[in-house]
Amino acid sequence: MNDLIIKQGKLINGDLIDIVINDGKITAIGPAAAVGLPSIKEIDLHGHYYVSAGWIDAHTHCYPQSPLYYDDPDLIGAACGVTTVVDAGSTGADDIDDFYAVTRKAKTHVYAFLNIARTGICSQNELADLTRIDNIRLQDAVRRHKGFVIGLKARMSKSVVGKNGLQPLIKAKAMQKENRLPLMVHIGSPPPRLEEIADLLTKGDIITHCFNGKPNRILDEAGNLKLIIQRALARGVILDVGHGTESLSFSIAEQAIKFGAHPHMISSDIYQRNRVDGPVHSLATVMTKFLNMGLSPEYILNCVTINAANLLHLPRKGRLERGGDGDITIFDLKNQRIELVDAEGQIRIGTQQFIPIAAIIAGVHIVVAENAAAKNMSAENMPVKNSATGRRIINGIPL
């Protein structure tokens, strides 16, 4: 008996497939993979809705006890159609144990980039005091939480580093050599200058907030892609969106994309305030913004599935294939007018929108996204049948 069968889900290219999930893994996938197979639960999409590997948000802030940037993992994750979230440096060596304990209670898969400051983001200037960078405690935390801590985070903007300039990043690169984890670097207002930061980054390092409109943007005064960024990209440095409250400029992103500087990962930098009040709202909203800046639906989906999984070294996620994790996002791609706002208040009118319908996590947790209520998904369009009772079930509640 299989745990879950999804019938007639639509891929982004229009093909229809069945997906069979058992023991948290995809065990069969294909046009008629579920024919004749029994299951505990069954979802028949009748070819009406899209399926993809579970969406991964590579930059969030979801430690509920963080004093500045906080949220609940399931509110920014499963409730928004996202099956995996990565917290980007909210915690350091001092509080990573507590954060790990919190995440074990979430339905959404949670991973962490460990802040190089042992305090995490307890204030806006966590790297202004170099004594907070404690290599021994950091390496011990990485060892204790191997598999949960998947990278390091350094926020390299003036308000964070104070008078320390490049020193926190130099220390981060030295610490990185001991654990070989990816390093995510936040860029904001200088000093230090982007040219100095980018010159220190190596293959697999991540520049987040890559399309910000601040002085440390990736375009020069003439609107061309800076040579230092061209060289960094050639070395294998990664561009991550990290929208956030202040870090996505439509005009910068549009110009950069024209030069071929496409994001490798599309992430939200979401936390409670910019989820509720905007301009972020959800990962799907950020995806929609790039859809209406000309990136294809296929490219965008890759940025939140296979690309993110590969770059974050999550080998069984981000893939619709046999043996992959049983994490699935069900969504719609709807043609409708939508007003989109960036972090600078610029407005674009979009014509197409990603609408998450449900997140399926490890083939067990089925969380209907907030948008599904408006589409009456729980009662009509996305029936989840329990084989034992014959009744539809959403979030474990018989209908």
Residue 199 and residue 230 in contact, taking contact as beta carbons nearer than 8 Å: no
- Taking the CB of residue 192, how many other CB atoms lie within 10 A of it? 20
Task: Please give the angle made by the CA atoms of 101, 107 and 108, to the nearest 5 degrees.
Answer: 90
Q: What DSSP string runs through 202-250?
A: -TT-EEESTT--STT-SB-TTSPBPHHHHHHHHHTPEEE---TTT---H
Structure tokens at 340: 């989109």
Classify the phi-psi angles of 107: left when phi > 0, otherwise alpha if psi is within -120 to 50, otherwise beta. Answer: alpha
- Taking the CB of residue 146, how many other CB atoms lie within 10 A of it? 10
Structure tokens at 57: 């948000």
Alpha helices in the chain (DSSP H): 73-76, 96-103, 135-144, 158-161, 167-179, 194-200, 227-235, 250-258, 272-276, 283-291, 297-303, 306-311, 370-374
Residues 6+ apart with CB under 8 A from 305: 52, 53, 54, 55, 56, 317, 318, 319
Do strands 328-341 and 50-53 pair parallel, antiparallel, or not at all (unpaired)?
antiparallel
Residue 354 and residue 330 in contact, taking contact as beta carbons nearer than 8 Å: no
Tell me the binding residues for Zn(2+). 59, 61, 153, 186, 209, 269
Structure tokens at 327: 């994490």
Tell me the binding residues. 59, 61, 153, 186, 209, 269
